[in-house]
Amino acid sequence: AQKVTQAQTEISVVEKEDVTLDCVYETRDTTYYLFWYKQPPSGELVFLIRRNSFDEQNEISGRYSWNFQKSTSSFNFTITASQVVDSAVYFCALSEARSGGGADGLTFGKGTHLIIQP
């Protein structure tokens, strides 16, 4: 069975601080996919990034960066110079490889509520 743990229920920082959201996952598959989604107060889910299990290269997109480490089963998300607009609930998710190919259902962590104070 697969599992995603986001131990941080809520994080509050002052604007311009850096913040890291932790994500630890469990899976027995050797091929799997990791994701981060953002859910702002408006409620829609916004896809941020996907990482394949065979690609441990870290990624940076503007103020966002992701650190994927298979050795510790972690896929952490860092926001640099946080802004008030970053306030949202952030979900880490996992899917395993589907027999026959294609996307499979996502297992979500419980989410981290990030509050950026002005």
Partner 1 sequence: SAVISQKPSRDICQRGTSLTIQCQVDSQVTMMFWYRQQPGQSLTLIATANQGSEATYESGFVIDKFPISRPNLTFSTLTVSNMSPEDSSIYLCSVAMTGRYEQYFGPGTRLTVT
Q: Which residues bind partner 1 (CB under 8 A)?
A: 33, 35, 37, 43-45, 47, 50, 52, 91, 95, 102-111
DSSP state of 40: -
* Of 45 and 81, CB closest to partner 1: 45
Q: How far is the CB of 10 from partner 1 (least distance, A)?
A: 12
Residue 70 to residue 49: CA distance in whole angstroms = 17
For residue 85, report the phi and psi dihedrals to the nearest 5 degrees: -70, -10
Contact between 3 and 32 (Cβ < 8 Å): no
* Of 13 and 48, CB closest to partner 1: 48
Cβ neighbors of 107 (< 8 A, separation 6 or more) are 2, 3, 4, 93, 94, 95
* Of 22 and 104, CB closest to partner 1: 104
Q: How far is the CB of 33 from partner 1 (least distance, A)?
A: 5
Q: How far is the CB of 32 from partner 1 (least distance, A)?
A: 10
For residue 15, the SS3 value is: coil
* Of 15 and 64, CB closest to partner 1: 64
Q: How far is the CB of 50 from partner 1 (least distance, A)?
A: 4
Q: Locate 118 and state its tokens.
A: 């002005």
